[in-house]
Structure 1
């Protein structure tokens, strides 16, 4: 017999309670923020819907309402964020049948996608247009991300202690909480803790730039300074426009780095390790279009090789 209080519980209230019980302290703050955003949408879209009233029709109507203001992928994410709580409600006997079964995911027409990465010539041209002075600034930050493929938060967390110039590498073992109050945070996953090999030019440049800096303080973040992703993207945008190449984001530099390595013939396994991906599957999914293009080149190479055997 289901408790009468639970029968009267609103869906958004149940979902908020579910987040607190199952997600709080178990997931990263950035992921938690997505669940809390889903909760806010429930309050907005279905303020009076009770958990026990959930069925396939009103759940589909909820998704459809959400999809009116969001693209299909965002609606899919919303669906997945709700589904775990709903399945637990089914297990508790609050809902007779799974209302998420056979849900149809809709969404607004995606906006025109901006270029995700630059080719080798475009990257070289853009880097040539960076205003690299004698002090570390966002121009140097852009150069380092382009050379290493680090995530934005990883590069922000770098301290002089993380550079091992004698072995030509930089150590990634933490991130910077730029979305919160600042300070160091763990990496995205265990695979993100890694050592990235540096070229000699970068070694020479940064060994000079970080001389005399406090070895445990971030080299790109001043104490008490709030860092915004948009600020760095603005510097990068100006460099791209000056170089007359497509405008990409800081995260686009990470895609550019990986793409150039793959086109250069570096193995997927090595690229995955350098990027700090949890598995090669992540790398394959993210760069499928490039891998397919390389496979087509391989087929041409195989056919030419075989034709010479007759």
Structure 2
């Protein structure tokens, strides 16, 4: 049985928690700091009731930084290398410096809410805050599964919401103006692929000739180049990103011409050529650094005198262009490598009102024909 005793001017209790199955020793819990005997007795009674019902949970004293490291050892086996690097960066630079010294059991909803509020006041984008939150929530879900916590305090906090930024894409005239200027550049096929296939930058820079079937007009996304341009990653961003994409006749012609050019460069370079079988590569066969592609893209934008957009916006331009032409969202979702059609519709919902209007016009046209 537990007991209550006075210590100086305050009271404490000692509760019997049963026998540790691993050591065979009796487990006790001591808690100090009660102002009155009645307060200590009340707290003791609550714990004894939980022990009797088998619902008592002993909070973990492990520090959050140590728990994060343990969780990450498990988590990184289920995510790709680039995502793991992003997680590690947020953990080391954002989470651990502020919350790492806090014991796991002391992470309250209020503490985490204040942490999120501070990130917002610091000026971080809501999308960045959400990524940091997902790491914290995921690690605490793991703590609950490992019976280190009774519940996840992160589930009770509210994340800030920003107004959705308007997506910047090119229209057909702007696409043609850019491609006309870019066609004179050695990296033209990269920009052409981005616009006509919707591939991500890393997917384009990791594309190999063996993954392109020019006879059937299909390419397969099976390898990507890392963001720093230093290594190839097998697969793609997600499982659904490993996919096949049907090529237009114009894209096939561009790739055939480019392949002949690469073959000449390889012959000219001789033994100095490093053959990674890349579609988009330097004149010596090595991978094109993503930052170099970005700089070339920005230079060509200025030359073409079209609105400035990011390279990734070429992917959005591709999707928007197809939606505006009435291509089914399911087909676009498959071309982009989205996990489901809902993702596609959520991202490109700004195009749908125009499609609704077009649908209504088509109905009018059909009905007028039948009269």
> Shared fold by TM > 0.5?
yes
Distance in structure 2 (CA, Å) of the matches to 1:201 and 1:221: 21
2:155 paired residue number:
101
Is 1:124 matched up with 2:176?
yes
Change beyond 3 A, Cα 1:143–1:45 = same
Where 1:129 maps in the other structure, the secondary structure is helix
Is 1:210 matched up with 2:259?
yes
**May I ask how many residue pairs the two structures share in their alignment?**
304
Instruction: Pick the aligned partner of 2:83 from 31, 38, 42.
Output: 31
Where in structure 1 do 4 or more consecutive aligned residues deviate above 4 Å? 1-6, 112-115, 213-216, 222-227, 303-310
Is 1:189 matched up with 2:274?
no
Give the alignment of 1:101-250 within 5 angstroms. 101-106=155-160, 116-132=168-184, 137-179=186-228, 181-211=230-260, 212=263, 217-222=277-282, 225=286, 227-250=288-311
Q: What is the CA-CA distance between 1:130 and the residue it aligns to?
A: 1.3
2:134 paired residue number:
80
Q: Which runs of 5+ in 1 are unaligned?
A: none
Distance in structure 2 (CA, Å) of the matches to 1:42 and 1:254: 32
Q: Which runs of 5+ in 2 are unaligned?
A: 1-16, 21-26, 30-57, 267-273
What TM-score do you get using the length of structure 1 for normalisation? 0.85
Q: Which has the higher strand share?
A: 2
- Asked if structure 1 preserves the Cα contact closer than 8 Å seen for 2:63 and 2:104, the reply is yes
Where 2:67 maps in the other structure, the secondary structure is helix
RMSD of Structure 2 on Structure 1 (CA): 3.1
- Asked if structure 1 preserves the Cα contact closer than 8 Å seen for 2:189 and 2:255, the reply is no
Q: What is the CA-CA distance between 1:100 and the residue it aligns to?
A: 1.9
What TM-score do you get using the length of structure 2 for normalisation? 0.72
Where 1:196 maps in the other structure, the secondary structure is strand
Distance in structure 2 (CA, Å) of the matches to 1:231 and 1:8: 49
The structure with higher relative contact order (CA 8 Å, sep 6+) is: 1
